[in-house]
Structure 1
Amino acid sequence: MNGAAILVVEILGAKMLAPYLGTSHFVWTAQITVTLLSLAFGYYWGGRLVDRGQDLGRLYTAVLIAAIYLCLTIPTAGRIAYLCLEMKLATGSILASLFLFFPPLTLLAMTGPFLIRVLTSSVHGVGGQAGRLSAVSTLGSVGGAALIGYVLIPILPNSVIMLITAAVLVLLALVYRVRFRSRLSQAILPLVAGLAGVGIGLGAIRAEGNTDFNQGIELYRRNSNFGMLQVLQLRGTPMLFYANDYLTQNIYLTNTHQSGAMFTYMLHGLAHAYTPKIESALCIGMGVGIVPAQLAKDGARVDVVEINEAVVPLAQRFFDLDTNLFRLHIGDGRQFLNETHDRYDVVVLDAFLGDSCPSHLMTREAFTAIGRVLKPGGTLVMNCFGYFEYGRDYFVASLERTLSASFKSVRIHDSGEGNVFMVASDLPSLVYTPPGDLGHVYPPKLDEVQRAYVRVVSTDPAHGRVLTDDYNPVDYYDAANREHFRKNMALSMRPL
């Protein structure tokens, strides 16, 4: 049981911190490091404790304390994460993980050496006992990882999963007290403490029902395998925000049925500006379906690849998504590229998630795969987020170099607000046809769209490198930009 709980807490810990600190390798490295450190300390102190006395009551007291601590992480995770936003991402991630998860994981890790000593009657059998208990614990960890990854996360909020885990551990400790202790009175204090912890966790979950945010009222929230999904409405307006782990992914006007986000107009517009005739299109990343729907309404046959199936019902309910307009494939974009035999006039790559990019879709090999599914003269149009100032341009410079290693021509349109659009083709030179009437553009975004069309820029190749499947260090070298972006977005979504 403890082995399963340890893996659940390890995975769930990273998920709980993701809305504030992101999902970069820094966050996962911190969580894995803290888990392994906890195991080391837990094994050591568990061995020392059992050598002083083989009273199982000590072990179950440790389990009970761990459970209560886990209950306390529910109301404190957000507060701790916001404090850690003031630090460098690597430092903040490790400190948040240490404070929230090191104590309970260390207490749970004491189980192994404690049980080995208690169950071993002679030195002759210690090897077998250690092997059997290690095997059972590892199988429990496998079960915990499978349970949370394939069953619980898609259907329950992170806070509820943590509370369930803590409640099971509380129950385990109380069963021992009642079943194996002669006096029922010895179970009263643990019972009160356990119930108090669970009560605090329940109260925190109910408090999460507070739907007042700086940007508006929360209409929808759901956990998913790829982050927490939210829909918020700006107070007193028909404007809806779609957010993933507190990062705004799109904006929609329910009264006029149009996008309030500049990038949707640019992806659709640049596809037409650089592709004379679009009969077929592939969109990697659906979002709420605005760009693929526009291409389909233009008469193109559209395939859409979306990795997060939980987005589909959300987009249908709030953003007028009509999946009959295109063929929707739930899966990974790279996998689809490797399997498909279809060819397209344009590929729209919009799988960027705020402070993190899907690195396996931003490499020379990935762009070569995209080039393989494009018809001769076809166009790749990509949305990303980056900066061109010296010292902040590693990501965009690397993307341009990588695209240039796979395509004959590359052009960059910069919005000046962070959104960057890259166009690539196997043609010797890209031919740009200026867009016609822009009356369909949401008026407050018109200036930004017009500026992005005419602002064609380039990078200094020496400031980046060709990104490959084998070596793609963007997370590290672009960390400062992503920290800044994530911090601003997380603070803007802080509940009132």
Structure 2
Amino acid sequence: MATSTPQDPAAPSASSAPPRPAALPGPLADSLVFFASGAVLVLEILAARMLAPYVGVTLETYTAIIGVVLAGIAFGTWAGGRLADLIDPRRMLGPVLVAGGLLALATLPLVRGLGELALARGEASAIVLLALFGFFPPAAVLSAVSPTVVKLQLASLRETGAVVGRLSALGTAGALLGTFLTGFALVAELGISPIIIGLGATLVIAGIALGLLLAASGHRRSVGGVLGVLAAALVLAGLGVASGSRCELESAYYCARVEVDPARPSGRLLLLDTLRHSYVDLADPKRLEFDYARVIGDAIDVLRPPGRPLAALHIGGGGFTLPRYLAATRPGSRSTVLELDPALPELARDRLGLETGPALRVRTGDA
């Protein structure tokens, strides 16, 4: 004879459990993880260029950036997973992308504002704090996307390996694309500010669109909220542009600028990141300001009688001080300059009086 076991009225029944949120379409889920992970690495690559004018390019700079961004990824992944267990993940994804976009836009005014303070202090702690305030928040928020999407896509524990493995691989692929595309192409072609503004705007717009698409009944996004987000994005982008850049020219290698010597109106100082690289006197090309340049000039005079023309190969151009010096002190000399950064000769033509021709040839690229 069969008997039934009375059910504990306090125990939740299967019918009373909240319905599981519907999974996202596969291509949409894959794209979100790919794009969010790529955005984090775009910011990490740009961090080195953004911090360079204030703290230079040193081992400490890269250590601070990598450590801070990794900490942001770890914290964001943990926090995103916890929140996805407490809140409907479909309601989270749009706001997370919007917040990540706004924080990405905020990196420009934050780093440029705080960078001047770091430049004045010049301590290792200043480098870490500059990276922390500028890049930890967007890295953490954007890293919450992956665990949120995983939560939505897991229909069964039997699929855990396949789902997590696929999304992890796509996140890594997005990070790789963001790294290579930014480092090898975008910085040299566009510069830092347009990339940051474009990335932040794309994240904000994608987040708004995703929020509207996934909004459940009773949780529709208000027009006022959307307009508020767009207004905040415009304000942050405007602040980023208004904050200005210490770079007169941004290349794939340097933040370069030319400053006038306050003690000598015709003197020009070329700075690459924080390095005083070259000094050029527009009125007197025979003047060698830096000690190393004077040593080279003296060595040339020892090897060859003064005034005799030379054929010289220069590895690196910079401000083109020495080729101009040879032309002025040894008329008829012929100089060939191998310069890695193709942007520097253009800056030297515009600001340092460089004139190329048969007596001074410039070849750019890797020697």
TM-score tier, shorter chain, comes to: 0.7 to 0.9
Kept in 2: contact 1:174–1:187 (CA 8 A) = no
Kept in 1: contact 2:288–2:294 (CA 8 A) = no
Mapping of residues 339-488 of structure 1, within 5 Å: none
* Residue 203 of structure 1: aligned partner: 239
The separation in 2 between residues aligned to 1:86 and 1:318, in whole angstroms, is: 27
SS for the counterpart of 2:337 is strand
The separation in 1 between residues aligned to 2:265 and 2:346, in whole angstroms, is: 23
Measured after TM superposition, the shift of residue 106 of structure 1 is 0.6
Question: Does residue 106 of structure 2 align to residue 72 of structure 1?
Answer: yes
TM-score, normalised with respect to structure 1: 0.59
* Residue 225 of structure 1: aligned partner: 252
Higher relative contact order (CA 8 A, sep 6+): 2
The separation in 2 between residues aligned to 1:316 and 1:84, in whole angstroms, is: 32
Larger proportion of strand: 1
Question: Does residue 182 of structure 2 align to residue 148 of structure 1?
Answer: yes
Match of 2:82 among 48, 56, 71: 48
Kept in 1: contact 2:339–2:364 (CA 8 A) = yes
Kept in 1: contact 2:279–2:321 (CA 8 A) = no
**Cα distance, 1:190–1:271 mapped onto 2, change above 3 Å:** farther
Root-mean-square deviation (CA, aligned residues, Å) is 2.8
The separation in 2 between residues aligned to 1:151 and 1:94, in whole angstroms, is: 27
Number of residue pairs matched by the alignment: 324
Kept in 1: contact 2:187–2:251 (CA 8 A) = yes
Match of 1:302 among 307, 317, 335: 335
Mapping of residues 306-345 of structure 1, within 5 Å: 306-324=339-357, 325-332=359-366, 336=367
The separation in 1 between residues aligned to 2:76 and 2:325, in whole angstroms, is: 56
The separation in 2 between residues aligned to 1:18 and 1:86, in whole angstroms, is: 14
**Cα distance, 1:195–1:152 mapped onto 2, change above 3 Å:** farther
SS for the counterpart of 2:248 is strand
Unmatched tracts of structure 1, length 5 or more: 212-219, 337-496
Measured after TM superposition, the shift of residue 310 of structure 1 is 0.5
The separation in 2 between residues aligned to 1:45 and 1:281, in whole angstroms, is: 60
Measured after TM superposition, the shift of residue 300 of structure 1 is 4.7
**Cα distance, 1:316–1:264 mapped onto 2, change above 3 Å:** farther
* Residue 35 of structure 1: aligned partner: 69
The separation in 2 between residues aligned to 1:205 and 1:259, in whole angstroms, is: 38
The separation in 1 between residues aligned to 2:312 and 2:40, in whole angstroms, is: 45
Mapping of residues 172-187 of structure 1, within 5 Å: 172-181=206-215, 185-186=221-222
SS for the counterpart of 2:318 is coil
Mapping of residues 154-193 of structure 1, within 5 Å: 154-181=188-215, 185-186=221-222, 188-193=224-229
The sequence identity of aligned pairs, in percent, is: 27
The separation in 1 between residues aligned to 2:344 and 2:147, in whole angstroms, is: 45
The separation in 1 between residues aligned to 2:229 and 2:214, in whole angstroms, is: 19
Kept in 2: contact 1:64–1:194 (CA 8 A) = no
**Cα distance, 1:28–1:106 mapped onto 2, change above 3 Å:** same
The separation in 2 between residues aligned to 1:36 and 1:263, in whole angstroms, is: 42
Deviates more, 1:88-97 or 1:178-187: 178-187
Kept in 2: contact 1:43–1:109 (CA 8 A) = yes
Question: Does residue 314 of structure 2 align to residue 283 of structure 1?
Answer: yes
* Residue 4 of structure 2: aligned partner: none
The separation in 1 between residues aligned to 2:115 and 2:335, in whole angstroms, is: 41
**Cα distance, 1:187–1:26 mapped onto 2, change above 3 Å:** farther
SS for the counterpart of 1:178 is helix
Amino acid at match of 1:241: L
Kept in 2: contact 1:221–1:230 (CA 8 A) = yes
SS for the counterpart of 1:323 is coil
Kept in 1: contact 2:248–2:255 (CA 8 A) = yes
Match of 2:166 among 120, 124, 132: 132
Match of 1:4 among 8, 33, 38: 38
Kept in 2: contact 1:229–1:244 (CA 8 A) = yes
Measured after TM superposition, the shift of residue 87 of structure 1 is 5.0
Question: Does residue 269 of structure 2 align to residue 241 of structure 1?
Answer: yes
Unmatched tracts of structure 2, length 5 or more: 1-34
* Residue 456 of structure 1: aligned partner: none
Amino acid at match of 1:201: A
* Residue 23 of structure 1: aligned partner: 57
TM-score, normalised with respect to structure 2: 0.78
The separation in 2 between residues aligned to 1:198 and 1:128, in whole angstroms, is: 40
